[in-house]
Amino acid sequence: MASPNLVTVTAQNFAETVTRSPVPVLLDFWAEWCGPCRMIAPLLDELAVEYAGKAVIGKVNVDQEQGLAVEYGISGIPALLVFKGGAVVGQMVGLRPKSELKKALDAAIAR
């Protein structure tokens, strides 16, 4: 079950959710048919709860939001981008351990 702290990001709410966010944003570019995307989903749910108030955890469905995927050069999924102040400050592709995701978030928070 997805965490209520996990945000679905679309082209319509991207600026509000990501660009103008006062806290870092970890954005997961994913698709329903992607096995590794399904495997990383529970970790993102946990991070959304653990980082509530300190960071935003969001998901972009690349099948529904192809424009965002193209804009950010997404060629493989899951692709995880960390934003701070509206700019990409970190990027990971593929299934990653929770510790690596936390390290990227902690680095963005400390910036």
Q: Which residues are catalytic?
A: 34, 37
Tokens found for residue 4: 């209520």
Contacts of 12 by beta carbon, 8 Å cutoff, 6+ apart: none
Q: Are strands 25-30 and 6-8 parallel, antiparallel or unpaired?
A: unpaired
